[in-house]
Amino acid sequence: MTKKWWKEAVVYQVYWRSFYDTNGDGYGDLEGVIEKLDYIKELGVDVIWLNPCYESPDFDNGYDISNYTSIMEKAGNMETWERLLQAVHERGMKLIMDLVVNHTSNQHPWFIESSSSKNNPKRDWYIWKDSVDGKEPNNWRSYFTPSVWEYDEKTEQYYMHSFAVEQPDLNWENEEVRHEIYKMMRFWLNKGIDGFRLDVINLLAKLKGFPNVENPTNINYLGNNPGIHEYLQEMNREVLQHYDIMTVGEIPFVTPEDGLLYVGEDRNELHTLFHFEVADDMPTWDMVRYKEIQTRWYEGLKGRGTNSQFMNNHDHTRQVTRYGNDQEYRVESAKLLGAMLHTLPGIPYVFQGEEIGMTGVRFASIDDYNDIAMKNKYKEEIEKGRDPQEVFESLLLLSRDNSRTPIQWDDSEQAGFTAGTPWIKVNPNYKKINVKETLADPNSVFYFYQKLIALRKTNPVMIYGDYNDLSPDDESLYVYTRSFEGTRWLIMLNHSDSKSEFVLPEGFNEEKKQLILANYKDVTSEKSIQKTILLPHEARIYQI
């Protein structure tokens, strides 16, 4: 496998609307990102992934774009964005933009033209179909609604939307659409950005003929369809290969074999991907299953492609709440999850607030939530006659708003996020969990992450090392090695709330062991690690 700068990077995701508000309107903004860049730089990361800030009516928090080459008023303007890019580069970091090209807003001029009449030149820029037997063209379900089809009374046809009604899908079979998208991508790359995170990029190609499916609730038929790789190879040929950038595709419904088709180094498509075998398919922690997933992806991509490591982002509940213990062992658990993600094969992503151990949230009522997916699902289930409280409880853990509450900067009103009323409520635990407190504590989650990231910069074993799981069947412990050019690291993680013992197999040189990092401040390197007792949520990294 060749060495590349993006393989060695650590990425910090900025969900700007919840990051820092400078004008008191309750929304974070790009000026706020600029003000806090030194904080991000102090953590040590290399790349900032900026969530969509393009012009948008904001039905789905910016993922419904109405103008690809202007900036949303809530975020700022193009001049502010350009200063942000310059400030990021001045600090030696890179900026990748979140790009949504599966769909646009229904307020995009393209869709307004397309929906104006059946013979409009842009009619075929979106996917329009006649009704079948007086109903929707097929039985497909969207991510956010019971059907992917919305009827347009004016033209008496349905348009397709894989997400909200306000997010019509583009027709990638139309060559004019593709080349307009490529032109727009060059616009941003020529401004100097360092790459793209490509939203649901494997949904671009649709099932030929739009047939009914046997199980419409299992929506994997929306992705990975014939034609997708031709589109991405064309995108690479027309745009991506001409720039020294990083590309990461959000790619649900994939196995390692599928994933390699997107990120194989001989495929000329993308550099790396987010798969969702953990975040979507493992609602609560399952140690054995998680290790099996990691091993399959390592073996599937080894030497041929690059994985990404994450357990939370703007779409998924904060990792310490969903996969750790955010009560008794919040700090230890947050550090342990960080140690794991930064030492497993692949590029680690830090979602804002993760570095201080921010937790998920439980608000009192559905009215306190903003997540369009959660609200639509709540409405759909209530209409089936289910008990509202039961439905509400069932949706809490996986609500996207768990990760979207504002960054907790200090213990002042609204956690120091805004002088106004925040667009979504602040997590009530901000008095205890905030950046100010964290930076004052030398044993905090922040400084543990800082050490992890610094280690990655100086130890290629964390990036290019071979991986070997020593504990595949253990339900509490995750013990594995990374080995590269004569260096071998041993990572020992106890995910349980009780002590656990691990006995190493033969073949480890005890004389050369060195404790590199531990999440319990009072841990010292024992005389022997052949038999190790790990405390609850303890993490240790040894060189052996």
Among all residues, which ones are annotated catalytic? 199, 250
> How many residues are listed for the chain in this entry?
544
Q: Which amino acid is at 50?
A: L
Question: What are φ and ψ of residue 120, in 5° steps?
Answer: -65, 140
- How far is Cα 326 from Cα 308, in angstroms, rounded to an integer? 24
Cβ neighbours for 425, distance < 8 A, ≥ 6 positions apart: 361, 363, 368, 405
* C-alpha torsion 541→277→161→122, nearest 10: 70
CB 438 within 8 A of CB 335: no
CA-based end-to-end distance of the chain:
24
Nearest Cα residue to 356 out of 453, 455, 412, 439: 439
Q: Tell me which residue has tokens 């100097």.
A: 192
The 3-state secondary structure of 504-520 reads: CCCCCCHHHCEEEEECC
CB 66 within 8 A of CB 57: yes
Question: What are φ and ψ of residue 133, in 5° steps?
Answer: 55, 40
- How far is Cα 314 from Cα 323, in angstroms, rounded to an integer? 16
What count of other Cβ atoms lies within 10 Å of the Cβ of residue 79?
Answer: 10
CB 471 within 8 A of CB 477: yes
Helix 445-458 and helix 330-343: axis angle, to 10°?
Answer: 10
- How far is Cα 318 from Cα 323, in angstroms, rounded to an integer? 8
Nearest Cα residue to 3 out of 452, 483, 464: 464
Q: How are beta strands 54-55 and 67-71 bridged, if at all?
A: antiparallel
* Region of 540 on the Ramachandran plot (φ > 0 left; ψ -120 to 50 alpha; else beta): beta
* Region of 349 on the Ramachandran plot (φ > 0 left; ψ -120 to 50 alpha; else beta): beta
Cβ neighbours for 230, distance < 8 A, ≥ 6 positions apart: none
Q: Tell me which residue has tokens 């671009």.
A: 204
Cα 131 to chain centroid distance, Å, stands at 36
Q: Which amino acid is at 97?
A: M
User: Three-state DSSP class for 351?
Assistant: strand
